[in-house]
């Protein structure tokens, strides 16, 4: 599985857009990029997945440049309830088979 | 659908005791896995299963056993509990059918285990 590097923590204020970047220099051709969100005392929750360019859903957007060596999770207009840990996973089987989670990025949203 | 259900929510064990953490899913998912999460840390994979009758070890399998007799259930057994096994345990499942292992993982709400 490709190694990922993401910031340990980030702070933001309500209403701001938050961008969390994940580096994955060794990404392989058949690797996907998947992001999960984890609230305290809960299991992680799937947010978004992409292979290249841009993916958008009702929760977030995922931007992937042409070389795919990094990706950026964008959360529009965050609220206090977006305070959570965000995990970036890269691999051919990031939905299941031997999925490995790193330490993630702790996002604190302030009022 | 209830999704992924874990029981119990909380458990306290004495060192040396054994117990089974239960995990059940009603989504007909082929793939199931167990993770542990220590305070302030990410998740570490304990064991996983790609289908009924098939299990394999993850990153930290020592001290734990699993079996997968049905598609729905994937219990995790602690053979002889140790204080180092104090953690929050999460069970997860995903479709994984026909090799499509990029289906998102669905997690349960965890079991908080304390070993004294």
In Å, how far is B79's CA from the nearest CA of chain A? 23
Counting Cα atoms < 13 Å in the Cβ hemisphere of B22 gives 9
pLDDT in tens, A25-74: 988 888 888 999 999 889 999 999 999 989 999 999 999 999 999 999 99
Q: State the pLDDT at residue B6.
A: 97
Q: Does residue A87 belong to the interface with chain B, where contact is any CB pair within 8 Å?
A: yes
**Predicted confidence (pLDDT) at residue B100 exceeds the cutoff of 60:** no
The span from the CA of A13 to the CA of A91, in Å, is 32
Instruction: For B19-62, give the secondary structure using H, E and C.
Output: EEEEEEECCCCCEEEEEEECCCCCEEEEEEEEECCEEEECCCCC
Predicted confidence (pLDDT) per residue in B48-91, tens digit:
998 899 999 998 999 999 999 999 999 999 999 999 999 999 99
**Cβ atoms < 10 Å from Cβ of B55:** 18
- What number is the average pLDDT over the span A83-93? 86
| Average pLDDT, integer, range A65-94 | 91
Choose among A41, A43, A100: nearest Cβ to B108: A43
Q: What is the pLDDT of residue B101?
A: 55
Q: How much is the average pLDDT of A18-22?
A: 97
Q: Does A63 touch chain B (CB under 8 A)?
A: no
CA A13/CA B59 separation, integer angstroms: 37
Question: Residues of B numbered 88-107 whose beta carbons fall under 8 angstroms of chain A's beta carbons: which are they?
Answer: 90, 92, 94-96, 100-107
**Candidate from B59, B90, B104 with C-beta closest to A95:** B104
* Ramachandran assignment for B71, one of left (phi > 0), alpha (psi -120 to 50 degrees), beta (any other): alpha
**Closest partner residue to B105 among A96, A102, A104, by Cβ?**
A96
* pLDDT recorded at residue B114: 97
């Amino acid at each position: 599985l490709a190694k990922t590097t993401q910031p340990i923590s980030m702070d933001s204020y309500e209403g701001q857009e938050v961008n969390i970047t994940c580096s994955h220099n060794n990404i392989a051709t058949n690797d996907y990029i998947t992001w999960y969100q984890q609230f305290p005392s809960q299991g992680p929750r799937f947010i978004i997945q992409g292979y290249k360019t841009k993916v958008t859903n009702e929760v977030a957007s995922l931007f992937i440049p042409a070389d795919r060596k990094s990706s950026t999770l964008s959360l529009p207009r965050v609220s206090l309830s977006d305070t959570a840990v965000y995990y970036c996973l890269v691999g051919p089987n990031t939905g299941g088979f031997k999925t490995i989670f790193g330490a993630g990025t702790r996002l604190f949203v302030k009022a | 659908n209830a999704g992924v259900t874990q029981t119990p929510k909380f458990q306290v064990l004495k060192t040396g005791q054994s117990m089974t953490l239960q995990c059940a899913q009603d989504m007909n998912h082929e793939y199931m896995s167990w993770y542990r999460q220590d305070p302030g840390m990410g998740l570490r994979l304990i064991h996983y299963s790609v289908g009924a009758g098939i299990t394999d070890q993850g990153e930290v399998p020592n001290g734990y056993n699993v079996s997968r007799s049905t598609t729905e259930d994937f219990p995790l057994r602690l053979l002889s509990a140790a204080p180092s096994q104090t953690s929050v345990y999460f069970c997860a499942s995903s479709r994984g059918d026909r090799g499509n292992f990029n289906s998102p993982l669905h997690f349960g709400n965890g079991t908080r285990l304390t070993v004294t």
